[in-house]
Chains A and B, each alone.
Chain A
Amino acid sequence: MTVPAWWKTDPCQPFQLGPRTLPGRIWTASGCFAYGLTGHDIGSADLASPFLGLGAVVTKTVTPEPRSGNPMPRLCELPHGAINSIGLENVGFVAFCEEVLPALEERAVPSIVSLAATRPDQFGEMAARLNECGAGMTHWHGVELNLSCPNVAEGGHDFGRDPETVARCVAAARPHLTDRALLAKLTPNVADIGTLATAAGVAGADAISAINTVVGLEVDLDTGQPVLPRRYGGYSGPAIRPIALAKVDEIVQKTGLPVVGIGGIETAEDALRFFALGCVAVQVGTAQMRDPFAAAKMARALAGN
Chain B
Amino acid sequence: MSLISKTTILRSEGSVLGNIPVSSGLLRLDLELDQPVGFLPGQFAMLNLTGPLGLVFSRPFSILASDGDVLSFLYRVVGRGTSVMADLTPTAAMNCLGPLGRPFPEPDPDTPTVLIGGGVGLPPVAAWYARYGRARDTAFFGARDCQDVPWDLLDERWRISVDRMTELPAGREAWQGLVTELVDRDPELKAPGKRRVLACGPMPLLRAAARLAAERRWTCYLSLEEHMGCGYGVCKGCVVPVLEPAAGADGVRNATCCQEGPVFRAEDIAWQRPGYPSFEQVD
Contact = CB atoms under 8 A, between A and B. Distances in A.
Nearest to B276: A72
Contacts of B58: 290
Interface string A57-93: 0001000001011011111011111101010010000
A43 B238 CA distance: 23
B232 A38 contact: yes
B229 A45 contact: no
Interface residues of B, number: 41
Interface in A95-120: none
A86 B35 contact: no
A288 B12 CA distance: 15
B20 interface: no
Interface residues of A, number: 39
Contacts of B227: 73, 75
Interface stretch (B2-10, B139-147, B208-216): B2-10
A68 B248 contact: yes
B34 interface: yes
Interface in A196-244: 229, 237-238
Contacts of A292: 11, 97, 230, 232, 234
B159 to A, nearest CB: 33
B193 to A, nearest CB: 37
A86 B236 contact: yes
Interface centre among B12, B35, B95, B254 (most CB of A within 10 A): B254
B56 A69 contact: no
A217 to B, nearest CB: 17
B253 interface: yes
Contacts of B7: 41
Contacts of B97: 42, 291-292
Contact of A43 (B9, B57, B236, B278): B9
A94 interface: no
Interface in A20-78: 31-34, 38-39, 41-45, 60, 66, 68-69, 71-75, 77-78
Nearest to A74: B237
A285 to B, nearest CB: 10
Contact of B12 (A44, A75, A80, A84): A44
A77 B234 contact: no
B276 A71 contact: yes
Closest 8 CB pairs of A and B: A71-B275, A289-B230, A44-B11, A34-B234, A75-B237, A42-B9, A38-B233, A74-B237
Given A44-B11, A289-B57, 13 more contacts: A32-B235, A45-B34, A74-B237, A75-B227, A80-B56, A82-B229, A237-B56, A238-B56, A288-B234, A290-B55, A292-B97, A292-B232, A293-B11
11 contacts: A32-B230, A38-B234, A38-B259, A42-B10, A44-B11, A68-B248, A69-B236, A72-B277, A73-B227, A84-B237, A290-B57
Interface of A: 31-34, 38-39, 41-45, 60, 66, 68-69, 71-75, 77-82, 84, 86, 89, 229, 237-238, 286, 288-293
